[in-house]
Structure 1
């Protein structure tokens, strides 16, 4: 009995060491192709899906007048970016689709990140240049994500998720971007996809 217990402890210790040594294996949980798009970023440049292919990216849905989940989601994404920098992950983008494109023109989006301590703004693409119906359909078709305009207020209902998109433009995983953000898992997944 003692030999079995010792053997079990050794196996567990060995598996912990191997996990710590970088044998992390990324496991996709989703498989949704992002539909092609042509939109405008915060620098008033036209960008499309092809501009993001070749490297993984983290996507989210936000809007500048949001009075609920967008500020914590944006702050949390800056924390994810700091952790990515700390682990030496450089080849990625952060892509935020505005769910209120009538208000969020490029000049408005340009100022959106100012209150946040963004480690590297060059990695951020804040997107607009489409109508409300388009973003609602695009979110549903490309991310299986809900976006609904509230006609009785200036708010838009949307999910608080981050989406991991691989270098081929396929959504492979999503994470809570609002309250229980799994920063270490996101970093490990991004690191695995940038190898």
Structure 2
């Protein structure tokens, strides 16, 4: 037997021994969820609590809500500073939307019901069609949908500024698009903001922040395993956590 063949046999024996000794231990650790924080495979929170409402980190800092100042349905000027001290939800919608907006706002109305009478909770709905959605139109929209929360503002103003807040400020996509129903494309996501103006979210099953909550899915039609589901129950739970 030459040296080359001996080397191959030696390497094969080492691999075999490694597999016999170590692979079962690795499998057992994964199966029992016994993975320490220093492991590269650790993708869960150290405390195992994925329902904690964490901060969203960007460039090494906790991400804040972008500065904004727009007109609401009553003609009043509303800015991000008006929401300081409150937990609130942000959405981007338009009143004539024929697709996801009715679902989004039906979900937010259900969220509103959970916090009825709580002055420390609010909602900010930014229209992405300000040319049509004047304060008068938005006031009619709010009243027509039975929205009673005084801290739920429907905001309109300069289109470029609104799109800047959506796309650059939050990273929630919004744009004109004549190929989609209604002529505007948007994601249907909700952002959760805490009392100090920080964007907050829970983690997913892998320990990563979900960042935003799916609001454009009907909870009644998202129960099939494997399908995307609305995250309204999670949003409500996380609002309650921040309000404590």
When the two structures are superposed, what TM-score results if normalisation uses the length of structure 2? 0.63
Larger Rg, first or second structure (1 or 2): 2
1:98 alignment partner, one of 127, 130, 133 = 127
Using the TM superposition, give the Cα deviation of residue 136 of structure 1 relative to its aligned residue in structure 2, in angstroms. 1.8
Distance 2:193 2:156 in 1: 19
- For residue 44 of structure 1, give the secondary structure of its aligned residue in structure 2: coil
Per-residue deviation at 1:141? 2.0
Q: Is the 8 A contact 1:34 1:169 kept in 2?
A: yes
2:61 equivalent to 1:61? no
Listed one character per residue, the Cα deviations across residues 36-62 of structure 1 (whole Å, up to 9, x for unaligned) are: 121101100011111011111101011
Q: Taking structure 1 as reference, are residues 71 and 139 closer, same or farther at Cα in structure 2, changes over 3 Å only?
A: same
Structure scoring higher RCO (CA < 8 A, sep ≥ 6) equals 1
2:103 is paired with a residue whose SS is helix
Q: Indicate which of 164, 170, 173 corresponds to 1:146.
A: 173
CA distance 1:24–1:91, change in 2 (3 Å): farther
Partner of residue 155, structure 1: 183
TM-score for the superposition, normalised by structure 1: 0.78
User: Following TM superposition, by how much is the alpha carbon of 1:24 offset from its aligned partner in structure 2, in angstroms?
Assistant: 9.7
Deviation for aligned residue 1:183? 3.0
Alpha-carbon offset, residue 170 of structure 1: 1.7
Any stretches of 5+ residues in structure 1 without a counterpart?
Answer: 1-22
Aligned length: 169
Query: Does 1:49 pair with 2:75?
Result: no
SS in 2 for 1:51: helix
1:128 to partner: Cα distance: 0.5
- Residue 65 of structure 1 deviates from its aligned partner by 1.3
- The answer as to 2:232 corresponding to 1:183 is yes
Structure 1 position 146, deviation (Å): 0.6
Q: Which residue of 2 aligns with 1:16?
A: none
Q: Decide which moves more: 150-159 or 64-73.
A: 150-159
Distance 2:133 2:124 in 1: 15
1:25 Cα deviation from its structure 2 partner: 5.9
The alpha carbon displacement at 1:26 in A equals 2.9
For residue 85 of structure 2, give the secondary structure of its aligned residue in structure 1.
coil
Gaps of 5+ in 2: 1-48, 58-62, 202-211, 218-228
Q: Secondary structure at the match of 1:93?
A: strand
